Structure 1
Amino acid sequence: MAQDRSHKLSEVLDQLEDAAHGDSITVRQVVEKLGQKSFASLILIFALVAVSPASAIPGLTSMVAAIVFILMVQMIFGRDSVWLPDVIMRRELSAEKLRGGIGWLRKPIGFVERFLKERLTWLLHRPWLYLPQLLVLALTLFMPFMEVIPTSGSIAAAVIALFAAGLLTRDGGLVALSLVVLLAVPVAVWQFGFSG
């Protein structure tokens, strides 16, 4: 069972790659491919896109922040299925850059999957789950401003990806790690934004 769970991350990449045909792909197509109830999968995939080289697409970090914010609010309030406003659902992404980003992510995801297992599952239940959820929610509010500071947006997206991956694979250790990495965000913003 643990082994099956560990491969869920690669399966999410497979699903997205399968949908990324033609010149572009809409957010609606991504949601439809991953499923209306797949909050963790959707948060993971959009966060990973913002970590990958595809993040060079102008405005992508802000769009990912908006999507994750909306999804996280729905998760906190216990909504059963995903809802995103039409203006976001109609947004298009370059399928070529997306495929490139997926290819770039294969190796690190494959490496991480070897260490995933079901553990510290109490962190994945309320009230404990509220802490990482609220911290991720707060993080998304700062992400649009991070686009002007090199790497800080990617670090923020990596935190969100770790959190979502922990939920998806029921690995509370990964959720805890996301909170540790979260501490690096203000450090990165200070280092790159105000030093030198």
Structure 2
Amino acid sequence: MAQDERNRKALSHVLDELEQSVEGKEVRVQHVIDTLGHQSFPALMLIFSLISTSPASAIPGITAVVALIVFLLVVQMIIGRDHVWLPDVITRRKMDSGKLCKGIRWLRRPTEFVEKFARPRWTALTHRPWLWLPLILVLFLTLFMPFMEIVPTSGSVASAAIAFFSAGLLTRDGVLIALAHIPLLAAPVIVYTLGA
């Protein structure tokens, strides 16, 4: 498979890897990290934000957990860490396998839609210093996500914005990253409107 095609299918590949690795009734967060790789910050950010966007978000407390995971991932990306580190209290947390797989299946269609347009371009935006702004926006957004569980669907809106940015990183598509600024900036406004 050509490099361009691998980049284009990067999102589906993440879903494939995770779905194929699910065994038993429950999946630990550590299992997700081990499956996707300790160096793949964008893949981990994408999959956890997608989980919070999908029907798997029905798992109690999942939005708060995802917010904390993404927050820690972004901080480590900002400081230039090479390997993912998450505290044991997070990595030991379990997710229902059935709900997780249902969420992955639900995500297939929007993922395929994004992959039709995603391709490596404006790749300078996938590196520093251009990454600082979206990373900081994601960082601030995660601070509010635990409180969004009070307002139905608001956590999913915020997670979708983060997933959009992560998709741009994974596919090395600077256009997606540039467009991700729109939902990242709009998410707090939408959440405030929903809660009003």
TM-score range, shorter chain: over 0.9
Aligned pairs (5 A) from 1:50-129: 50-129=52-131
Q: Which runs of 5+ in 2 are unaligned?
A: none
Q: CA deviation at 1:189?
A: 1.8
Aligned pairs (5 A) from 1:1-196: 1-194=3-196
Q: Which runs of 5+ in 1 are unaligned?
A: none
How many corresponding residue pairs? 194
Q: Residues of 2 paired with 1:140 and 1:75: CA distance?
A: 15
Q: CA deviation at 1:28?
A: 0.5
Q: CA deviation at 1:19?
A: 1.6
Return the letter of the residue paired with 1:46.
F
TM-score (structure 1 length as normaliser): 0.96
2:165/2:177 contact within 8 Å kept: yes
TM-score (structure 2 length as normaliser): 0.96
Q: Residues of 2 paired with 1:193 and 1:181: CA distance?
A: 17
Q: Residues of 2 paired with 1:134 and 1:190: CA distance?
A: 20
Moved more, 115-124 or 4-13: 115-124
2:28/2:91 contact within 8 Å kept: yes
Query: RMSD value over aligned CA atoms?
Result: 0.9
Q: CA deviation at 1:123?
A: 1.2
Moved more, 179-188 or 115-124: 179-188
Return the letter of the residue paired with 1:78.
G
Return the letter of the residue paired with 1:92.
K
Q: CA deviation at 1:152?
A: 1.5
